[in-house]
Each structure stands twice: as structure tokens, then as C-alpha cells.
Chains A and B, each alone.
Chain A
Amino acid sequence: MMEQSKYLEGVEKKDLFAHGHRACGGCGQALAARLVHDAAGENTIACVATGCLEVFSSPYPDPAWRIPFLHSLFENPAAVASGVEAAYKALGKGPVNIIAQGGDGSTADIGFQCISGMFERGHNVLYVCYDNEAYMNTGVQRSSFTPYGARTTTTPTGNKTRKKNLPMIAADHGIPYVATATVDDFRDVQKKVKKALAIEGPKYIHILAPCPLGWGHPGELTVEVCRLAKDTGLFPVFEIVNGKVTNVRRIPVKLPVEEYLKVQGRFKHLFKKGVPTEEVAVIQEIANQNIERFNL
């Protein structure tokens, strides 16, 4: 038997979110879901929102889940998880890891209220948002996490608004732990999940999970795209522990946003014959603001 690779020390691979799901090839969300649940381990209950993840992973009779899975609606995993937690408390069962989760649409838009309520009431639940920056399951429509300039089927000329900053909003609920992460850094994702689960109370982890279909990049670039998102400053990676921003991932070599934009079809219209339009400058400014704000 091969010894565990020394490069994978502290990394969990248990396939609790197993193969046989119907995600597109190279789906960042499928990858993220496995990383999260493998890190959490067997003693975990997954409460999942409607969205790509739920649809591609839970068809009867061959779902990809090997740990308890509970889905009811698009907007309510945080509330359902609250109920599970309340039941565990009331019945004196546990401890158990309860992970509520959903896409950006579920999290930022339709399920926002339930999440806010879950945070505010202080349930011992980890909420994970798989951010693929649009409603993918319904065919790539804009969400409030869709970044400026991105083309979706409901923003055919490019999105005109900026991404809602949910990590900060979450932190302002006074919850003990908030983190952002990207699927390229599996060590970081799993470290944050484990850290979060060790903390009592509500936690929020926001994972950038590229969607080859919606973003218009080949599946093989899912990891690379994450790196570009980080290294351009468009996706800051950090933790907020008890209200304080810490462990900010510093960008080793800052890249211009073009590097990120040009590998994705959803930003193609921002370049006319290869020349960046003024929207690109706006996006660069967004990156610059992130860099300054988080000292990336």
C-alpha cells in the first residue's frame, strides 16, 4: 500500500461526497463539496439548498452523499439546519457537525433572511456558500454575487452592479468565525472547515467555486481560474475571527485583472478585438480597492 503522500498530511480524502454525481466536468462546486465534507468527517449532517449541488448530487436512487443529507428548498437550508440543531439539543443527542450550504443565489439572495436569522439566533451551524457567481442551475442568471461586467443570461450586456459583500455582512452579525476560500487551495479550505467546526456558534465560509459552464472556461481551468481570482485581488481570501480580519492571504505577485477576465467567456465582451474596454478599468479599480482594503 502506498503510504499517504507527505504532501497530503492533514488533508482529508474520504469521499463522503462520492463519485457518481452529475456535475459538469471540472465543476468547482463538486470539488468544493467533497473538500468540505471530507474535512468535516462522518459525524456530519449536510443541509443543502436547491441549486446545482443538490440537483447533481441527490437524484434518487443514486445520490453522491455518504453522510446524512437533508434538502428541502432553495431558500431554507440555514433554517432547516437550525431545526436540526434545535432537535439535537432538545433530544440531548450529539455532538454533530451541521453544515448548511447553498449556492450564491441561495445564500446571497433568496435564502439571505434565513441565514441572517440563523446567525443572529446563534445556532451551532456552519454555513458554507459555494459561490459560482450566478444562478447556474437555472441556466446562468445573475445573482447578487455576480461580479461587475459578467455576462449572464439575464445581464446580456454585462452585469452593472457590484458583488454583495456577504462575508462582511456575516461578520457584522457578530458571529465568531467567517472565512473565504477558493477550491484551488484544498488545504486552506479544509483547514478552515475544521477550524470553523471546532468553534461553538454560527460560522460562515464562503468558497469561490468556478463553474466552467457559466463562466465559460474549460473544465481543466477550474483551479487556475481561482488562482487568478486571488492573484488579481478580485477574490480576497481571509478570516474574520471574532470580528477581526486576520490571516489575509497576501498576493505573491499581483496580476492585472485582464489575466483573470480573458480566460473566461463571460467577460469576453469586455475586450473589443483584444483591446480592453473601459469596464475592465472599473474591474481593475474594484481589485485595487480590495487590495487596499484587505492589504492583499
Chain B
Amino acid sequence: MNKLPLGLALDLRNVVPYKTGSWRTLLPVNIMQTPPCSNACPAGNDIRGFLRTLAEKKDYEAAWHVLTRTNPLPATCGRVCPHPCEEGCNRRDFDTAVAINTAERAVGDYGLEENLEHKKLIASRKERVAVIGSGPAGLSCAFHLAKRGFHVKIYEAYGEPGGMMRYGIPSYRLPNYILRQELDNVLKLGIELECNVKVGVNIPMDQLVQTYDAVFVGIGAQKGLSIDITGDDAKNVFTGVDFLREVNSGKYVDVGKDVVVIGGGNTAMDCARVAKRLGANVSVVYRRTRIEMPAITAEIDEAMEERVMFRYHTNPVKIITDDDKVVGILSVQMELKEPDASGRARPVPIPGSESVIPADTVILATGQAVDYDGIEVQKRDGKWVAANENLMTSIDGIFAGGDAVLGLETVSAAVGQGTRAASAIEDYIEGNVESRLARPPVIYSRDLNTYYYQKKKRFEKEALPIHMRLKHFKEIYPPFDLEAIIDEAERCFSCGLCFNCGNCFMYCPDNAVKISPKTGLYEFDLDFCKGCGLCAKECPCHYIQMSLER
């Protein structure tokens, strides 16, 4: 033992601190959780990750790489995704959701502008996988497999890849050159693409099954369904899908002066707005009201802004033709009665309420179906491809995903399924049982300490004025200011993961939060932590939780 110094005046330079860690009954631990945005994102994007990268590093390139770990199509999804992530965003309980979708587009566009390239995780391996269909499901599956070194070949029935992104979604929402660039970038991973080959028609499915180690079926729901109505065989009567494919293929379609679109989904909205751009007066005829319309709200709003007429409670009875040419539609007014099996109010015609709507073109945007021509798999509900949770169909080694499996869904849902299928295919080929990790629990806003966040206005993208929009098929949302997007990204709470706010570091009364010399991250110094819980309480994003001492 050291001799007592004169006057007990101790040299403070060599003090061996007294360890207080043994006082602890609770232990602070860092627990990463799933933010609700990612939980809601069908593509499983690391939203928190790319937003925080923007916010902290102001680095678009790094953000692009974070985003494209899951999603090969950020520029596309950033335009067309109905962004359920924002519905889930914890910030909604505080002020407004983070403009995730807008930020995603900004990052995607940056990647295209800067020609950023995807990186392979594994250079090459011998196994080969065939992908049928180059829609988002097929592309995503091919992308993830190619990154992991598989030889992938995509077979596409149409002349150009992209599926509904190419032939369904109009270019004022998703410019063709954006899609094309994003697709090319994916293909650069060494993916082979053969267009104008309809599997099951041009080459038999069996051939693929024999040649490849696995097959992914991402054929979507390409067939437009029309309702059974007299006059639907007249010229100038289209299904929604066919009409859009024509226009998106660059063909001129003469729609005349008056166009009637039947249906209330996204296809109906796109048809109406495309027809508007072709110079017609457009009415959307729908049996119920706006509330029941399945289309994305923003799409309906934009259609209304563009002065598409909406006729609710209206049902077509027959298409009136003159000399095999449409002249109008006989319709009847409906009233809503008790809900039907779908849970929506049941429309019933009001007797004697018939009237005629003039029409030069009628578009039946009333549904789509899978085109099973030459492809034989087990079905679900008689309509959709049946697949198990690993997305394998009834046939061993054949996987499926996207609209064909889910029914009419979204681009991001298709991307998500492609991603999942790729993992499942890898497991299948490698003979793994199940390699997907369980997701950490979701963190909700009640767990956050929102004191540390400031209220801040959300970035709202601005559309071109209406009169400018209707003149052409140019994109209605011009590019965003990159700085403003970084500001927006700073609104992200970083739910469930440290964002280096420093609170734990500053608040710990025992200086037991240190910067780890190894990782550079905050860590607990358990020799001194007394387990008071202050750090956990004041961690804005709930990355610290108190647990029982082991």
C-alpha cells in the first residue's frame, strides 16, 4: 500500500478509479430494432440506413449503395411506389412522415446520373438460373442472384424489358429513359436478356427446367380482363392494359373527343390521364364512390387536378355503337346497400335512372389476369400462381413471385418477392435449410423519446402546373434540390438504431459510456455503469434498453 501523502494531498494523475459496476442490477444494452418504415416497405429497403447516410454523411453515393442492397430500382420505386413506408413512419405521430419516397427517387436519380454501378458480392459460380419475365419481380430476382455470382438469363415475351413498368405505367409518371437506365444498370451485372421469347409458347418450359438449376416465374398479370357488356367487341373499345401498352409502345392511338374509362383502380387512373394527354375529354365511370376506389389516392388527386371527370354511383349497361364504332355508353345510377363479401358497400341499380354518356373510345380498366399460356403450375383461387413461403411453386426448383403470385400488387412488392425468391433459390441450390435471419422487433413511436427531435416541415415535391402537364408525356415532377432532400433526411428519427446523437455519452452520470477504440462507436464501460437507466431513457431512438444482468 502506498504511504499517505503529506496532508493527504493526493497526486491525481495516477488514480486507479474505484469500480462501481458491481452496484448494478440492470444492464444497458444496445438493441437494434426494425423501424416501421422498413417493416412496411414491401421491398424491405433499409430506409433508416439510407436516410441517415444522407443526413450524417451528406453522401448520395453511399446512400445509393445502401438502398440498392435491397432494391435495384430506386429511381423507379421513388416515382411509382405508393410508399406504405410513409404510412408506417413513426414521425407521423410527431408531425408528418418523412418524405421517404421522394428521397428514394433523389438517391436513385443520383445513381443514374453518376453512373454508379452495382457491386458483385461473389464474382462467379457455376449454377445457372432462368428468370421468366423482366418485370420488377424477375429483375429483382435476377439482380440478387447475379450479385451472388449465379449465371442468370431472363426470357421476356415483349420487345423490351420492364413488364408493367415499361408497358403499363405511363411515362409522365415514369419516364422511359429512367427505367431503361436503371434496367441496363442491373443487366450490367452480367445478366443475359432475351426479348421476344414467350416461354411456354416460343420455348417449352421443360427445356428451361432441364437446362437450369432453378427457374423463377415472374410473369405478372399481363392479360387485361373486360367485363361482360354488349358492344365490347366494337372498334375503339380497349382493355386498360392493352390501351396503355399501345401508347407506351409509342403507337399513336386516335381516341377521338370523348373517352369513357370504366373502373376505379390505378390502371383506370392511368388510362384516363393518358387519354387526357391525347386531347380528349375523359370521364371515369365507377359504381361506388371515391372512398371505395382502389387506386392510390395521389393518383386520383392528380387525375382530378388534370380535370378528369368522375361519375360515381354509375354502372355501364351497354356500349352503344354505330357502324361498329362506339358512340356512347348507356349507364345506370346505383345506390349503395349493405356490404358485399369484399366488405365494400354493394351497389344496386336505381330503376329508371338510365342515361347516355357520349364516347368515342371506351376503356375497360376492370381487371387483369395471369397469362398462363404454356405454363403449367398449381393455382391459388383458380387465378394466381400458388407458391409456398419460400416462393417455390408446386414444381420442385420452380419459384414464382410478383403479381402472378400476389395478385395485382406494386412494383416494390414485386421487388421484395424477387429478393426473397433469390435467397430461397440460393438456399435451394446450396441445399441450405433456411438462411434468412429473423428480423428484430419493430419499434413504435411510444418507445421513442421525441423530446430531442424538432418539428420541421416535410419536403413536398412540386408538380408542373396542370396546363404544362397535359401538353405532353413528360414527367410531371421535375428533379429535386439535393440539399433540400438532405434536410428532409435529417427529419428521420433513426428509429431503433444509434444515430450518434451523443446523449448517452453526455448524460451518463458515471461516464460509463465511452467511445470504443476498436469500433469507434459508443459502448458501455461495465466496470463503472451503475445501471441507472438514464442513457436508455434519454436515447431518442430506443437503441438502448435496460436488461437484467446476466
In the bound complex, residues from chain A placing their C-beta under 8 Å from that of B24 are 25
A25: contacting residue among B16, B520, B531, CB under 8 A: B531
User: Which chain A residues lie closer than 8 Å to B536 at the CB level?
Assistant: 220
Q: Contact between A63 and B10 (Cβ–Cβ < 8 Å)?
A: yes
B503-539 vs A, CB cutoff 8 Å, 1 = contact: the mask equals: 0011111111001010011000101101111101110
Inter-chain contact A5/B509, CB cutoff 8 Å: no
B residues in contact (CB < 8 Å) with A: 2, 4, 8, 10, 12-13, 15-20, 23-24, 56, 451, 500-502, 505-512, 515, 517, 520-521, 525, 527-528, 530-534, 536-538, 546
Interface centre among A11, A61, A68, A219 (most CB of B within 10 A): A61
Option from B502, B511, B534 in Cβ contact (under 8 Å) with A5? B502
Interface-side segment among A12-20, A112-120, A138-146 = A12-20
Q: Tell me how far the C-beta of B322 lies from the nearest C-beta in chain A, rounded to whole angstroms.
A: 68
CB-based contact B511/A15 at 8 Å: yes
Report A-chain residues with C-beta under 8 Å of the C-beta of B521: 2
A-B interface contact total, Cβ < 8 Å? 118
Which residue of chain A has its CB nearest to the CB of B525?
A: A19
Query: DSSP class of B's interface residues: helix, strand, loop or mixed?
Result: loop
The distance in angstroms between the C-alpha atoms of A18 and B502, with both chains bound, is 17
Identify A60's interface contact among B10, B511, B530, B533, CB under 8 A: B10
Q: Are A223 and B8 in contact (CB under 8 A)?
A: no
Judging by beta carbons under 8 Å apart, are A20 and B502 in contact?
Answer: no
Identity of the chain B residue whose Cβ is nearest the Cβ of A30 in the assembled complex: B509
A62 and B502 in contact (CB under 8 A), knowing A28-B509, A31-B507?
A: no
Q: Are B509 and A7 in contact (CB under 8 A)?
A: no
In the complex, are the beta carbons of B18 and A220 less than 8 A apart?
no
Residue contact B510 to A220, C-beta cutoff 8 Å: no
Which residues on the B side are within 8 Å of A68 (C-beta)?
A: 12
Q: Is the CB of A13 within 8 A of B56?
A: no
Kindly state whether residue A21 has any CB partner on chain B within 8 Å: yes
Q: Which of B13, B500, B534 meets A219, CB within 8 Å? A: B534
Does A69 have its Cβ within 8 Å of any Cβ on chain B?
A: yes
- Distance of A6 Cα from B501 Cα, bound (Å): 8
7 contacts between A and B (CB under 8 A): A2-B515, A13-B505, A35-B506, A68-B12, A220-B536, A223-B507, A223-B534
| Chain A residues within CB distance 8 Å of chain B | 1-2, 5-8, 11, 13, 15, 18-28, 30-31, 34-35, 59-69, 186, 212, 218-224, 227
**Which single member of B10, B508, B510 contacts A61 (CB below 8 Å)?**
B10
Kindly list chain A residues whose C-beta atoms are within 8 Å of the C-beta of B17.
18-20, 62, 64
Determine if B534 and A20 form an interchain contact, defined as CB atoms under 8 angstroms apart: no
Q: Which residue of A lies closest to B8 (CB)?
A: A60
Knowing A66-B12, A69-B12, say if A19 contacts B510 (CB, 8 Å).
Answer: yes
Q: Contact check, A62 vs B15: say whether CB atoms are below 8 A apart.
A: yes
Q: Smallest Cβ distance from B523 to chain A, in angstroms? A: 11
Interface pair B510/A21, CB less than 8 Å apart: yes
A19-B17, A223-B537 as given contacts; A25 in contact with B512, CB under 8 Å: no
In the bound assembly, the distance between CA atoms of A19 and B507 in angstroms comes to 13
Q: How far is the CB of B95 from chain A (nearest CB, A)?
A: 14
Cβ contacts under 8 Å, B2 to chain A: 61
* A220 with B533: CB separation less than 8 A: yes
Contact yes or no, A65 B12, CB < 8 A: yes
* Chain B nearest Cβ from A264, distance in angstroms: 15
Among B18, B56, B520, point to the contact of A62 (Cβ < 8 A).
B18
Nearest residue (CB) in B for A26 is B532
CB distance from B207 to the nearest CB of A (A): 55
Q: Are B512 and A26 in contact (CB under 8 A)?
A: no
Give min CB distance, B512 to chain A, whole Å. 6
Whole-angstrom distance between the Cβ of B133 and the nearest chain A Cβ: 45
Task: Give 14 new A-B contacts, CB below 8 A, not counting A22-B20, A222-B509, A222-B534.
Answer: A2-B520, A5-B505, A8-B505, A8-B506, A18-B511, A19-B17, A22-B18, A25-B531, A26-B533, A30-B509, A219-B530, A220-B534, A220-B536, A223-B534
Which partner residue on chain A sits nearest B530 by CB separation?
A25
Contacts of A1 in B (CB 8 A): 515, 517, 520
Bound complex: CA of A224 vs CA of B537, how far in Å?
9
Chain A neighbourhood of B505, CB < 8 A = 5, 8, 13
**A24 CA to B532 CA, complexed, in Å:** 8
A25, A31, A221 — most chain B CB neighbours (10 Å) = A25
The answer to whether A5 touches B500, judged by C-beta atoms less than 8 angstroms apart, is: yes
Q: Which residues of B contact A218 (CB under 8 A)?
A: 533
Q: Which residue on B lies nearest to A186, using beta carbons?
A: B506
Please indicate the chain A residues that have their CB under 8 angstroms from the CB of B4 in the complex.
60
CB distance from B515 to the nearest CB of A (A): 6
State in angstroms the CA–CA spacing of A28 and B534 once bound together.
Answer: 10
Q: Are B537 and A220 in contact (CB under 8 A)?
A: yes
Q: B residues within 8 A CB of A2?
A: 500, 515, 520-521
Tell me if A20 and B500 are in contact (CB < 8 A).
Answer: no
Residues in B with CB closer than 8 Å to A219 are: 530, 532-534
Q: Check A221–B537 contact: CB distance below 8 A.
A: yes
Nearest Cβ on chain A to B5's Cβ, whole angstroms: 9
* Given A2-B521, A19-B525, A186 and B515 contact (CB-CB distance below 8 Å): no
Among A20, A21, A22, A222, the most chain B Cβ lie within 10 Å of the Cβ of A20
Q: How far is the CA of A67 from the CA of B527 in the complex (A)?
A: 22
CB distance from A80 to the nearest CB of B (A): 14
Tell me the nearest residue of chain A to B533, going by C-beta: A220
Nearest residue (CB) in B for A33 is: B509
Shortest distance in angstroms between B32's beta carbon and chain A's nearest beta carbon?
17
Query: Given the complex, which residues of B lie within 8 Å of A24, measured CB to CB?
Result: 530
